[in-house]
Chains A and B, each alone.
Chain A
Amino acid sequence: MSYQAKGLQAWLLQRLTGVFMALYILYVLGVVLFSENLNYQQWRDWLSHPLMNTATGLFFLTLAYHAWVGMRDIVIDYISHDALRLLVLTLISLFLISSGLYLLKILFSLTLTV
């Protein structure tokens, strides 16, 4: 089945996405922790900046891939019943896709409004 691990590719991408997410998380935490009394306008302006907006979208893409590989590996390890495994994997992918669309909506709401 197509959801099965493509060994090396999944292994490598799991690490590359991990590195990107680590950098993004450290940056965001750094900004949020060290900017005193962050107000709404600053928060919104920061995330509306094209670079930050794009980085956040990219962050979710890498997160979705990372989470998919991780969750899939766990499901393959612990759920051996074929139909149940497929059902759970389908639910996980739907969960990630709808979360992605939700984030897309949030990001677009920042850039498309006046």
Chain B
Amino acid sequence: MHSSVHSAVRSTKSRPKNLNLLSVRFPLSAVMSVGHRAAGILLFLALPWFLYLLQLSLSSESGFLQVKNDLNSIWLKMLILIFIWALAHHFIAGIRYFLLDLDIGIERQMAQKSALLVMILGVLVTVIVAFFLF
């Protein structure tokens, strides 16, 4: 682990504040990280809806068919696609963080490349699913 970095951060008593987000440079890894958080929030907020669909699909034969039928509407398909992106991005970004924890791809250039790869793969999965959905 990078204990020297951690203790260096901890020892500064007054932490730097960057209130103006425009004053901060956003490298690819930062954009990807914001996406990871945004995707996490999206999935969190969608939880009751997913549970409702699960409950309806298990309640009865007609409930099951209703869910199947409802998910055929174009609007719900688009909504599902948004959540597919959120899940794919969150999932793949999570794997990247996991590898970084194991010191794999920790070098700056490599980390920037893998951040780009995460974003591309997230979109790619969404496009593939869209292809099957529509």
Q: Give the B-binding residues of A (Cβ under 8 A).
A: 15, 18-19, 22, 25, 39-40, 43-44, 47, 67, 70-71, 74, 95, 99, 102-103, 105-106, 109-110
Contact = CB atoms under 8 A, between A and B. Distances in A.
A43 B54 CA distance: 10
Interface stretch (B22-30, B43-51, B114-122): B43-51
A54 to B, nearest CB: 16
Interface of B: 37, 40-41, 43-44, 47-48, 51, 54-55, 57-61, 64-65, 87, 91, 94-95, 98, 101
Contacts of B37: 70, 74
Contacts of B41: 71, 74
Nearest to A67: B44
A25 B58 contact: no
A67 B58 contact: no
A59 to B, nearest CB: 12
